[in-house]
Structure 1
Amino acid sequence: MRLTLTALLLLASGTASAQSISLDTIKDVTKTLSSDEYEGRAPTTPAEDKTLAYIVKRFEAAGLKPGNKGGWFQNVPLVELTAQNVSNLEFTGGKTPVSLAYRKDMVIATYRVVPKIEVKDSDVVFVGYGINAPERGWNDYAGLDVKGKTVVILVNDPDWMSDKAEGPFNGRAMTYYGRWTYKYEEAARQGAAAAIIVHDTFPASYPWGVVQSSWTGPQLEQDTPGDHMDQSLAIGWITNDAAKALFASAGKDLSLMEGAAMQKGFKAVPLGLKASVNWDNAIKRQASKNVVGILPGTARPDEVVLYSAHWDHLGRCDAVDGDDICNGAVDNASGIGGLVALAEAHHKEGTTKRSLVFLAVTAEESGLLGSKFYAENPVYPLAKTVGGVNMDSLNTIGKTRDFVLVGAGKSELEDIVKPFVAAEGRVIVPEPRPEGGGYYRSDHFSFAKLGVPMLYGESGDDLLRGGKTAGGMAIESYTMKRYHKPQDEYDANWDWSGAMSDLNIYYALGRALADGDAWPNWYPDAEFRGIRDKSRAKAK
């Protein structure tokens, strides 16, 4: 049942002022972790040791206690694959051969932990958006056998061009079916030897340079029994220009094929081409670490409220103007800065009835691996985890009039947070860029999938200084010029007023949950409601 406004206001009135949140702490942590000394904070590199030591130092100074049975760390078993001697991705059998160069025209990788990958003369099939959603009456693989074949897939959902969040796949608002992770998962379930996604900047929500920096160099995956042999041999991306050449070689027009794939009842199209690619893998198995700190509760210490942020970034990446360190200042040294500052503020305010847990997770950039491992192997049972807040990239462009709930319409946390947003003189608005699929791209999703409500909120576009025009331009500039690039560096001129306002909201929400009795649930029609109900029933 949803909480009444009166109950919410009572919760709000019981929280302390968040003005004890230290801007100096946020700046100092962000600046330090994003300095060249930390080499982009790639997991399982020497930079990880420096990063973890610094986070523990700041957690201790903030007043936290070691949160994992007297220790600060949770080991996360990872396997690192580094592609070497990568051949061109060759397509033959068409009007003209198409040869795509690694990094420039395509990126290629694998989940399989094997020393060599070879795809040879694999039949190529265009499978539209690569979606099999029986509950929506949609199956791009209907009547198709792609075992051993290479499937070419479009990014996002079939109705991404809609101006509204309405349609078979929520229109402009991306569903999980639009995420690249889902597309590779479904291709593997269908038995495809290789799955190649066609990049397009707007529906992907980032330029090709982001794909280059994220998908080249050492790639991490969770180290599990079976070495991921149930996955496709090869997964990757090709540029839009490369895709046009590929389809032209097959006697097809990419734009016409895209239009056809948007229609319900689309039938996959064999392209009459053969795909070949091969490379060697350097394999390294090594555990990375999540950092876990706690402020123990007094009345019900076994019930926990969770704050999370990822500490990792891309490490050494493709150089831009001679700089090959992806420092990750905004993404997500700033989030760790917020995590430490919130820990300080809660400690200064005093103990709460429930415990407050502060979780700095690893390998978010590799597919939410640290949070996924924690959620599947929780230090504190998920049935006893009340809910919490995830922070991924704080606002450094100034205070906004609006506050965005990413993936809105899912949980009762959205009701609980309303008075805290109002207290900041701000209003909750719909996501300005729902096509980016932000709800499926950060660590809260690992917890949501297993039933724990987590708030993922952020500043909107409507800046106090400059309005929506200035805000939209600033966000677009970051996405196109700095996101996942060496240019994401600390800037002493950043305006942190928006981040401070957001953190005030996160603080108040966490305090209300930790001192209250509420067990926020998912709304009845949310996809995670059944999981939470079963989990809580076992805990009672």
Structure 2
Amino acid sequence: MPLPKIAALLCILIALPAFYGQGIQSLDSRAPRTAPLLPELQREIRADMAFLADDELHGRGSATRDEHIAALFAASQFQSLGLEPGGDNGTFLQKTLLPNPLPADIKQRLSKFEDTPRRETWNAIAILRGTTSPNEVILLTAHLDHLGISPAVNGDTIYNGADDDASGTTAVLALAHIFATGRHPSRTIVFALFGSEEIGGFGNRAFLAHPPVPLTSIITDLEFEMIGRPDPAVPAGTLWLTGFNRTNLGPELTRHGAHLVNDPHFGQHFFRRSDNYALALQGIIAQTISSFGLHKDYHQPSDKLRTIDFTHMTNAISSMVAPINWLSNTTWKPQWYLGRKPWHQAIIK
């Protein structure tokens, strides 16, 4: 990247605390948690998406400097909100080295991408400490990375990953803003954005190896993955939850206002295809919220900002505020249904 463009990105990162400090006043009511006004929320969502899915981030390739910039972008927002750092050495970043050499299958997958050294990956993690039950944790997650620079399609080599998963990253950032600037919840909320999901989940592995809170304290993880466009397979205005029939989390969130239905794409095995699955294998109730309708832009350079339905995305994020607020203030805990933990062999939707 030319030096002037690098300087411009750094200026944006430096300016973010002031920008979000101004935005806090518009969203901060210190009242019972409700979603902010939708036009204000949509402006924030558009701004975050415009940064994360811009060509200058080269598709946020896993374990690249562009993924690192995306992590710094998130960390700067967490810091500006006054959240507690959950990364290394009192910072909001968690860095981990990749295996050297990389496994053969990953090396083969990366061979068609930009010839970039892949030595380390980054998570961005922040903590909103609970007031009365701080040792019970709600985890909100997404992945920072996408495919980066890859073979050209119609002359375009940048796989921007607007829906996958700038949309999920933006959802977590928006929820961090909403919850950090209102009445603090009873339970702790951890906001974690993982690196290198696309090449094998190395970010979630680092989180599990060095968690900012004890893993046994995590009540549930909600992963946000590809919520930038509506799915025509489900009713308008709804999202779907992977593993809906594995736990009682989805039905209970629905009872408290979540517009969630069962994943309609059972044959795609989406429950096992995001960072939530690594946490679920540890016994944590970890499921993914999405509205991916199997669109043709998946893992293509055409997954760009212009394809995002910002009204849908804004309403999707807004619709989860009240249910997450309830979850972060209740004493209720989700449970696996009998025989439906991820290591059981039965085929379960």
- In 2, Cα distance between the equivalents of 1:23 and 1:331? 18
Q: Would the aligned equivalents of 1:439 and 1:445 in 2 still touch at CA under 8 Å?
A: yes
Candidates 270, 294, 299, aligned match of 1:438: 270
Q: Would the aligned equivalents of 2:239 and 2:291 in 1 still touch at CA under 8 Å?
A: yes
2:97 corresponding residue in structure 1: 77
Q: Would the aligned equivalents of 1:403 and 1:459 in 2 still touch at CA under 8 Å?
A: yes
2:303 corresponding residue in structure 1: 488
1:110 corresponding residue in structure 2: 104
1:217 corresponding residue in structure 2: 112
**Structure 1 segment 189-204 matched on structure 2, within 5 A:** none
Q: Which has the higher strand share?
A: 1
1:218-257 deviations in Å (ceiling 9; x for gaps): 59xxxxxxxxxxxxxxxxxxxxxxxxxxxxxxxxxxxxxx
Give the drift of 1:20: 5.1
Give the drift of 1:520: 1.6
1:407 is aligned to 2:221? no
Report the CA distance shift for 1:504/1:439 in structure 2 as closer, same or farther (over 3 A).
Answer: same
**Structure 1 segment 265-414 matched on structure 2, within 5 A:** 286-397=119-230, 400-414=236-250
Report the CA distance shift for 1:302/1:43 in structure 2 as closer, same or farther (over 3 A).
Answer: same
- In 2, Cα distance between the equivalents of 1:456 and 1:516? 21
Q: Which has the higher helix share?
A: 2
Report the CA distance shift for 1:52/1:401 in structure 2 as closer, same or farther (over 3 A).
Answer: closer
Q: Would the aligned equivalents of 2:58 and 2:159 in 1 still touch at CA under 8 Å?
A: yes
1:519 corresponding residue in structure 2: 333
Q: 1:37 aligns to what SS in structure 2?
A: helix
Report the CA distance shift for 1:375/1:406 in structure 2 as closer, same or farther (over 3 A).
Answer: same
1:153-192 deviations in Å (ceiling 9; x for gaps): xxxxxxxxxxxxxxxxxxxxxxxxxxxxxxxxxxxxxxxx
- In 2, Cα distance between the equivalents of 1:112 and 1:456? 24
Identity of aligned residues (%): 26
- Flag structure 1 segments of 5+ consecutive residues without an equivalent: 1-13, 83-108, 118-213, 220-281, 461-474, 531-540
Amino acid at match of 1:458: S
- In 1, Cα distance between the equivalents of 2:183 and 2:161? 32
2:69 corresponding residue in structure 1: 50
Q: 1:409 aligns to what SS in structure 2?
A: coil
Moved segments of 4+, more than 4 Å: 282-285
1:65 is aligned to 2:84? yes
Give the drift of 1:457: 2.5
- In 1, Cα distance between the equivalents of 2:298 and 2:185? 37
Q: Would the aligned equivalents of 2:55 and 2:160 in 1 still touch at CA under 8 Å?
A: yes
- Flag structure 2 segments of 5+ consecutive residues without an equivalent: 1-30, 345-349
Give the drift of 1:216: 4.0
Q: 1:456 aligns to what SS in structure 2?
A: strand
Q: Would the aligned equivalents of 2:242 and 2:288 in 1 still touch at CA under 8 Å?
A: yes
Amino acid at match of 1:419: R
Give the drift of 1:292: 0.5
Give 1 or 2 for the bigger CA radius of gyration.
Answer: 1
- What is the aligned length? 308
Q: So what's the TM-score if we normalise by structure 1? A: 0.52
- In 2, Cα distance between the equivalents of 1:360 and 1:380? 15
- In 2, Cα distance between the equivalents of 1:317 and 1:284? 15
Give the drift of 1:512: 1.8
Q: So what's the TM-score if we normalise by structure 2? A: 0.79
2:36 corresponding residue in structure 1: 19
Q: Would the aligned equivalents of 1:312 and 1:332 in 2 still touch at CA under 8 Å?
A: yes
